């Protein structure tokens, strides 16, 4: 990880911060989700040439950009979307396929908002008839460190006292005597110290979700109403010469608009270097693993009925905890989408903005590390004991291999945007960060810290509501945007009192459960704010 001194990244001389991100790589690794690109959107340009001007320019075509366009076009036309690569080939098309609120580890207002987003997404997919493999299920967070589990359980108990409506979404599963009927064994994690079940979660094919939204928009609002321009990276952003808007520079020309929304997440600092210390690019890695089958076990893949997070304290001599995650695609293929292993990555992936490389040490970990913690041996409850996990490994190892590795059909990386204070940034860009405040016309929505699927859609709705006001037809309904997401000068100042991100986990919701912090993340933040 390269660290240098920069004035533009912080607004104050001598502060150490990461340099700005570069442009998205032209030859990224191939994601499982992108294996079947949308014929309607591949190489899409609403007009052959880039228009000179627009009413609104949205930069980025991931989940934030797509839903921002959806809400903008409810009451406004003249929207241009610029995408550096193909549609949704950035972080959304490269994530882990989870849409899961983190109820027990978040500030309650954020937890409530994320639950609202999940419910909105579930309704949206159903009402619009979107084919994106949406599966509603429960999420199992399995802890393989006793102290971490006890802290997580304490957070759930504290939530029961302060916000029982949120606590009702959780079930704490403690250790037991084991055996075939133990609760942890029934969750397929018999060796865990404990688990928290989050009752509301989902798995989804994220690329299909976003492309379905954009396919509908380009059909319903042909250019110039909605003008999508792919393979058009924005190299620079500056005030328009007349001071009444913003000019975006691309290799295909420039475009000027009074309103610009940056839905660029981990790449935000490329166009706004002053965000370099507030939204830091962090590279994650994922593998699509072929599920084990064997005549000795079952001839077809085991169907998992939960999504999973696997967490543990750092190993001796390490500063990084375990923070891995898993969903399964629908049968009959049943691919295991397994991400994590960042503690093995160079520099923990912090400051990395290139997704054109797979790190072999991380890839090997992902291929070899799933079966020791998760029992994939059988769909039968009678085979879910810890002994079954051992038998599973014995039965699946072939050719006298010393180590079981599942076969990977795809291995890829993606760039997340980690927020210095853990929360997304939604709203007008302050003048000190390169914008002009509420009336300046420059907006951002990003910095989700690897947790954008249960936050982005309604964060986009909120930023659009602010951009267009009452005339835009976007009502403020449901749970309001958390104060923690609001972008203003006061929050920037508070964030810059916090340490710089050097490991990434300082910004995640594991922060309060590791390193001897002593209290769960949401409880620690509540006490700090009192």
pLDDT tens column, 351-387: 999 999 999 999 999 999 998 888 887 655 444 444 5
Give me the mean pLDDT over the 273-277 stretch: 96
Tell me the β-bridge partners of 486.
426
Q: 32 or 516, which is more confident?
A: 32
Specify whether 482 is located in the same domain as 455.
yes
Same domain membership, residue 480 and residue 375:
no
pTM: 0.90
Determine the Cα–Cα distance for residues 439 and 467; give it in Å rounded to an integer. 9
pLDDT top residue among 18 and 407: 407
H or E segment at 76? none
pLDDT at 161: 94
What CA dihedral angle connects 160, 165, 168 and 169, to 10 degrees? Answer: -120
In the predicted model, is pLDDT for residue 524 greater than 60? no
Q: Higher confidence at residue 101 or residue 400?
A: 101
| Nearest in space to 16 (alpha carbons), one of 35, 1, 30 | 1
Query: Which helix (H) or strand (E) element contains residue 3?
Result: none
Q: Of 351, 383, 415, which marks where a domain is finished?
A: 415
Q: Are 211 and 190 contained in the same domain? A: no
Higher pLDDT among residues 522 and 236, named by residue: 236
Report if residue 9 sits inside a domain: no
User: What are 110's two structure tokens?
Assistant: 């954020």
326 Cβ neighbours under 8 A, 6+ residues apart: 96, 304, 307, 308, 309, 310, 336, 337, 338, 339, 370, 374
Domain count, the chain: 2
pLDDT for position 498: 92
Collapsed DSSP state (helix, strand, coil) of residue 224: coil
Among 415, 449, 470, the domain-final residue is 415
CB 203 within 8 A of CB 334: no
Percent of the chain at pLDDT exceeding 70: 83
Proportion of the chain above pLDDT 90, given as a percent: 73
Mean model confidence pLDDT for the chain: 87
Q: Is the domain of 310 the same as that of 408?
A: yes
Q: Does 118 fall in a domain? A: no
The domain boundary residue, chosen from 415, 439, 461: 415
List the domain range (segments joined by +) for residue 479.
45-94+207-278+420-498
- Same domain assignment for residues 221 and 370: no
Domain membership of residue 120 (yes or no) is no
Does pLDDT of 103 surpass 80? Answer: yes
Same domain? For 433 and 474 the reply is yes
CB 402, CB 392: distance < 8 Å: no
Q: Mean pLDDT check: name the lowest of 178-182, 279-283, 305-309.
A: 178-182
DSSP 21: P
Evaluate whether residue 508 is within a structural domain. Answer: no
Specify if 472 maps to a domain: yes
Residue 452 CA to residue 300 CA, distance in Å, equals: 33
pLDDT higher than 70, residue 297: no
Closest Cα to residue 130, out of 65, 202, 66, 213?
213
261 strand-pairing partners: 58, 443
User: 154: helix, coil or strand?
Assistant: helix
CA separation for the pair 91, 61 (Å, rounded): 10
Instruction: State residue 523's pLDDT score.
Output: 40
Do 193 and 161 belong together in one domain? yes
* Residue 448 covered by a domain: yes
464 and 486 together in one domain: yes
- Residue 30 falls within a domain, yes or no? no
Domain assignment present for residue 296? The answer is: yes
User: Do residues 381 and 463 both lie within one domain?
Assistant: no
Residues 292 and 395: their CA atoms lie apart, in Å, by 10
Does the pLDDT of residue 139 top 80, yes or no? yes
* pLDDT the model gives residue 90: 97
Task: List the CATH number of the domain containing 233.
Answer: 3.50.50.60
Q: Both 294 and 367 in a single domain?
A: yes
Q: Enumerate long-range contacts of 6-10, CB under 8 Å, 24 or more apart.
A: 6/273, 6/276, 8/273, 8/274, 8/276, 9/269, 9/273, 9/274, 9/275, 9/276, 9/277, 10/274, 10/276, 10/277, 10/496
Q: Do residues 377 and 383 make contact, with C-beta atoms less than 8 angstroms apart?
A: yes
Statement to judge: residues 306 and 174 lie in one domain:
yes
Phi, psi of 491 (to 5 degrees): -65, -40
Output the pLDDT for position 383: 47
Judge if 185 and 240 occupy the same domain.
Answer: no
């Amino acid at each position: 990880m390269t660290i240098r001194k920069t004035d533009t990244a912080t607004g104050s001389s001598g502060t150490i911060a990461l340099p700005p991100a570069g442009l998205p790589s032209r030859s990224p690794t191939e994601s499982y989700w992108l294996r079947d690109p949308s014929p309607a959107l591949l190489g899409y340009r609403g007009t052959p040439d880039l228009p000179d001007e627009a009413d609104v320019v949205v930069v980025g075509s991931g989940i934030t950009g797509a839903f921002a366009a959806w809400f903008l076009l409810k009451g406004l036309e003249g929207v241009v979307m610029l995408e550096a690569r193909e549609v949704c080939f950035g972080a959304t098309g490269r994530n882990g396929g989870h849409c899961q609120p983190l109820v027990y580890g978040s500030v309650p207002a954020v937890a409530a908002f994320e639950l609202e987003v999940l419910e909105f997404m579930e309704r949206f997919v159903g009402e619009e008839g979107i084919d994106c493999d949406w599966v509603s299920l429960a999420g199992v967070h399995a802890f393989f460190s006793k102290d971490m589990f006890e802290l997580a359980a304490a957070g759930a108990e504290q939530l029961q006292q302060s916000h029982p409506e949120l606590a009702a979404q959780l079930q704490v599963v403690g250790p037991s005597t084991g055996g075939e009927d133990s609760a942890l064994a029934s969750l397929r994690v018999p060796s865990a110290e404990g688990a928290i079940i989050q009752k509301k979660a989902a798995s989804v094919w994220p690329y299909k979700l976003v492309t379905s939204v954009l396919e509908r928009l380009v059909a319903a609002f042909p250019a110039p109403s909605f003008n999508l321009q792919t393979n058009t990276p924005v190299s620079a952003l500056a005030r328009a010469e007349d001071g009444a808007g913003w000019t975006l520079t691309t290799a295909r020309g420039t475009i000027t608009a009074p309103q610009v929304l940056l839905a660029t997440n981990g790449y935000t600092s490329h166009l706004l270097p002053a965000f370099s210390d507030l939204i830091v690019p962090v590279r994650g890695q994922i593998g699509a693993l072929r599920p084990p089958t064997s005549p000795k076990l079952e001839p077809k893949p085991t169907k998992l009925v939960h999504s999973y997070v696997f967490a543990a304290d750092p190993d001796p001599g390490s500063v990084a905890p375990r923070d891995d995650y898993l969903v399964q695609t629908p049968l009959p293929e049943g691919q295991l989408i397994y991400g994590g292993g960042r503690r093995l990555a160079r520099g923990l992936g912090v400051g990395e903005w290139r997704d054109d490389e797979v790190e072999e040490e991380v890839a090997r970990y992902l291929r070899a590390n799933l079966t020791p913690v998760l029992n994939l041996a059988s769909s039968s409850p009678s085979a879910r004991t810890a002994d079954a996990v051992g038998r599973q490994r014995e039965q699946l190892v072939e050719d006298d291999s010393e180590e079981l590795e599942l076969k990977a059909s795809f291995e890829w990386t993606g760039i997340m945007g980690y927020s210095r204070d853990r929360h997304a940034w939604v709203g007008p860009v302050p003048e000190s960060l390169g914008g002009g405040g509420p009336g300046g016309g420059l907006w951002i929505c990003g910095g989700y810290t690897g947790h954008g699927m249960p936050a982005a859609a309604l964060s986009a709705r909120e930023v659009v509501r602010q951009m267009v006001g009452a005339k835009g037809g976007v009502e403020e309904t449901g749970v309001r945007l958390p104060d923690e997401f609001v972008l203003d000068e006061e929050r920037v100042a508070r964030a810059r009192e916090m340490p710089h991100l050097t490991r990434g986990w300082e910004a995640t919701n594991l922060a309060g459960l590791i390193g001897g912090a002593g209290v769960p993340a949401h409880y620690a933040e509540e006490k700090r704010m009192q």
